[in-house]
Structure 1
Amino acid sequence: MPARLMHRFHAALERRLPEQRLFLRSDTETRFVRLKPTTQAIALGGSAVVLAWTIVATAILMMDSIGSGSAREQSRREMATYEARLDALSQERDRRAEEALAAQERFAIALEQVSSMQSALLASEERRKELETGIGVIQTTLRRTMTERDEARTQVAELNANLAEGPQLAQTGAAPADTTETLEFVTAALARTASERDEMSRAAVVARDQADEIAYEMKLLEERHDDIFTSLEEAVTISMEPLDKMFASAGLDPDDLIKQVQRGYSGQGGPLGPLAPSIGGKADPNAERASKILDGLDRMNLYRMAVEKAPFAMPLKTSFRYTSGFGRRWGRMHEGTDFAGAHGSPIYATADGTVIHAGWESGYGNLVKIRHDFGIETRYGHMSKVRVEVGQKVSRGDRIGDMGNTGRSTGTHLHYEVRVNGAAKNPMTYIKAANNVF
């Protein structure tokens, strides 16, 4: 049975592909090559397989090319969207900075107003004391005048009694002319005393009216002071809250930061005294509120110094994309964040500090290490060019190098690390924390 099937197969194959002979003639002889139907079938099958493989491979390459083109277009769109987002964040940061600057200017103007109002309040207080002293003098003079008037009245009564005893005066040889002069003198003295009394009374009434007016002005001034202090207290509270959240998000204790900054900036002096002295040995509540506001402003200023010393800024200002984040990568710990950009892009210090390494280091290539306050260190790897030296002091935003592809790197990018007391931390924690404030 199998032999019959094979015979039929060969017969069908011979009908489709009859045997062919290929003659090869030379000068001396002629040869031929017999092409059996099986050989022809194998050759045709192989040619078909090669043709099919060529078609499939070409289709795969075309589909891959089309797919990669679509991926590149999508990548470009994502890059454009990301750059637009970065531009928006940058504009928002600039607006926040302008608002903070405007708030500081408003604080300065408000403090000047408080100082001028405090001076006016002290002047009105001095004026009130002077009026009280004047009223006391007027009252003393009035009492003395009334006493003298009573004494003069007593003397007049005695003189009238003596006049009634005319014979006795005649006997004593008293002259009527002397008595008349005495009465006129006493009457004039009484009239003058009464006039002075009335004048003193009017002055006392005027002084009381002025004292009431000053008291009313002082009350209005105190209410205005209270409104200004309330506005300042609310502004300080609102301004302090996002700063506290920023440091807390970065894992930094604000109180410890303030203490460390105060140790570095502890100078004191100057001619200014307290805003308001205590009156009558009692503490002035306005002075206490002003002192608390000044403490809040001082804390904000210390926060500003701490922000300059902690890596809250971005190391790049040009276009880039994130290519690798902080965490495990291929089974190993990636202790930083990678930013891919154009070769030679400027790299900036993210905080004030001192350069402790500037040169080649295995794996990092050209590396810059900067030591900051609070036990923080930042690292910038794979640079094409280093622009700082060891021991150099740098400020936030200073250019320290150019982006490159040195060391263990697969392409141009910046490897950025943040370490706290030697332990690697996620740099994006600091950058994201600052995005809510700046």
Structure 2
Amino acid sequence: MLTRVAYRINATLERYIPEQRLFLKSDAETRFIRLRPTTQLIAMTGGAMFVAWTIVATAVLMMDSIGAGSSREQSQRQQAMYEERLNALSADRDLRAEEAARAQERFNLALAQVAQMQSRLLASEDRRRELETGIDVIQSTLRRTILERDEARAQADEASLALAASTGSARTDEGREKDVADTLAILTDALGSAAQERDLMEAAAEKSAERVESVIAEKRAIERQNDEIFAKLEEAVTVSVEPLDNMFRDAGLSPDDLLSAVRKGYSGTGGPLSPISMSTSGARVTPEAARANAILQGLDRMNMYRIAAFKTPFAMPVSTPVRFTSGFGGRNDPFGRGWRRHEGQDLAGAYGSPILATADGVVTFAGWESGYGRLVKIRHEFGIETRYAHMSQIRVDVGDRVSRGDRIGDMGNSGRSTGTHLHYEIRIGGEAINPMTFIKAARDVF
């Protein structure tokens, strides 16, 4: 039955695919191989399937290559844009620092000028007081002289009356009148001299008053200039400190707690700046000194923010192009174990890419751990810990102190992993938080 069916199939196919014979000739004999239509059909079908599979595989490989090239170019462009933005921000930060330094120099010069003007003003005030005192003395002397003159006239009149009553001589009256005239001449000369000296004192007092008004005008001009300088300095400090403040708040950290911890650990170089004091006699601090102290406190706050930024993981753990794959939070387990919690950020990249420490700290673990594979844990300040998992090679040991940017290992595929990537975790007080919070906050500032 099967032979008959096969015969009918061959007979039907032979109309379209004739039977072929392949002859094999040797020195002794000649043989042939019969290729039936079904055999030819099977061979052609297999060949066509092989050709089709080759075309599809080639197309898939070409699409993957094109996609990989596009992703690589896009990553390179993003890396170039990121580096350009970093350079621009760095240049702007340097410019701000240079402007602050120049403003500080202008402020010191203005303070010196104000001190000189105040010294001249005090000297003018002392001179004016001396002149006023001199005028008062002259006026008192003049009044006393007038009183003495009146008393002398009264006494002379009494003496003349007494002499006339006792002697009755007219010549005595003439002598008395002459003496009175001489006395009046002397008093008149004294009064004239006193009046001239008073006029000189009044002129000097007027000149001193004009000088005082000029000094006061100069002082007001300097105060306006100081107000402008203080305003620019306060604006520069605010513009520089506010992004750092927002960066720590966006990362879920308390800026006040961070600054308190930095202040406790850094009391020498890098600690609080000494405030300005314009008085050594316990007098109240002037408004200018108070504003200067506020600016210095802002600069000190910015300096402590810089220290805290190096102690916290505000950086990327890799410097090579990567792709952000599985993020923080819930996800479907890649090994088919259902919905699971993912306590880090996965960054897929090339095998052996350098893994970098994101902040200064101490290595507390460096070895194999179930699920993580080759794992490195680093303890940082403020109760922060970072973890770097699935490495192909670990380049640090427990107890090593590392700085931001130090290479601690190579990217790999060890442990519970489906491909080459880095599993990056950040924990505060033992609780895992989203690492992208720190990465995005750092991108907005640095």
> Which bin holds the TM-score, normalised by the shorter protein?
0.7 to 0.9
Quote the residue 1:285 is aligned against.
287
- The 5 A counterparts of 1:311-322 are 311-317=313-319, 319-322=320-323
SS in 1 for 2:377: strand
Whole-angstrom distance in 1 between the partners of 2:192 and 2:100: 67
- The 5 A counterparts of 1:145-164 are 145-155=141-151, 157-158=153-154, 161=157
User: Gaps (5+ residues) in structure 2?
Assistant: 25-30
Contact 1:138 / 1:204 at 8 angstroms: preserved in 2? no
Contact 1:135 / 1:204 at 8 angstroms: preserved in 2? yes
Q: Does 1:403 align with 2:403?
A: no
Quote the residue 1:236 is aligned against.
237
Contact 1:156 / 1:183 at 8 angstroms: preserved in 2? no
Q: Does 1:370 align with 2:366?
A: no
Evaluate the alpha carbon distance shift between residue 149 and residue 316 of structure 1 in structure 2; reply closer, same or farther with a 3 A threshold. Answer: farther
Quote the residue 1:296 is aligned against.
298
Quote the residue 2:94 is aligned against.
98
User: Gaps (5+ residues) in structure 1?
Assistant: 25-31
Q: CA deviation digits over 1:264-287, x for unaligned, max 9?
A: 2356899875146899x7764333
Offset of residue 261 of structure 1: 2.3
Offset of residue 197 of structure 1: 1.9
State the superposition RMSD in angstroms: 4.4
Contact 2:376 / 2:387 at 8 angstroms: preserved in 1? yes
Q: Does 1:109 align with 2:111?
A: no
SS in 2 for 1:251: coil
Q: Does 1:336 align with 2:344?
A: yes
SS in 1 for 2:224: helix
Whole-angstrom distance in 1 between the partners of 2:205 and 2:37: 139
Offset of residue 375 of structure 1: 1.7
Question: In structure 2, what residue type is equivalent to 1:374?
Answer: F
Q: Does 1:85 align with 2:87?
A: no
Match of 1:143 among 136, 139, 143: 139
Whole-angstrom distance in 1 between the partners of 2:287 and 2:251: 37
Whole-angstrom distance in 1 between the partners of 2:390 and 2:50: 44
Quote the residue 2:425 is aligned against.
417
- The 5 A counterparts of 1:154-233 are 154-155=150-151, 157-158=153-154, 161=157, 165=161, 167-168=163-164, 171=167, 185-233=186-234
SS in 1 for 2:318: coil
Question: In structure 1, what residue type is equivalent to 2:67?
Answer: A
Whole-angstrom distance in 2 between the partners of 1:294 and 1:67: 60
Whole-angstrom distance in 2 between the partners of 1:208 and 1:19: 133
Evaluate the alpha carbon distance shift between residue 183 and residue 414 of structure 1 in structure 2; reply closer, same or farther with a 3 A threshold. Answer: same
Report runs of 4+ in structure 1 exceeding 6 Å deviation.
Answer: 17-24, 32-35, 172-181, 267-272
Contact 1:19 / 1:34 at 8 angstroms: preserved in 2? no
Contact 1:418 / 1:425 at 8 angstroms: preserved in 2? yes
SS in 1 for 2:445: coil
Offset of residue 433 of structure 1: 0.9
Whole-angstrom distance in 2 between the partners of 1:186 and 1:283: 55
Quote the residue 1:29 is aligned against.
none
Offset of residue 186 of structure 1: 3.8
Whole-angstrom distance in 1 between the partners of 2:12 and 2:97: 95
| TM-score under structure 1 length normalisation | 0.78
Percent pairwise identity: 37
Contact 2:275 / 2:296 at 8 angstroms: preserved in 1? no
Q: Which moved more, 1:240-249 or 1:72-81?
A: 72-81
Contact 2:361 / 2:402 at 8 angstroms: preserved in 1? yes
Whole-angstrom distance in 1 between the partners of 2:382 and 2:86: 27
How many pairs were matched up? 422
Evaluate the alpha carbon distance shift between residue 389 and residue 139 of structure 1 in structure 2; reply closer, same or farther with a 3 A threshold. Answer: farther
Offset of residue 23 of structure 1: 12
| TM-score under structure 2 length normalisation | 0.76
Contact 1:364 / 1:406 at 8 angstroms: preserved in 2? no
Quote the residue 2:27 is aligned against.
none
Evaluate the alpha carbon distance shift between residue 386 and residue 53 of structure 1 in structure 2; reply closer, same or farther with a 3 A threshold. Answer: closer
Quote the residue 1:66 is aligned against.
62
SS in 2 for 1:436: helix
Q: CA deviation digits over 1:173-227, x for unaligned, max 9?
A: 9977977775565444333322322222222222222222222222222222222
Q: CA deviation digits over 1:334-391, x for unaligned, max 9?
A: 4333445556654433223333234444444443322222221122334555554444
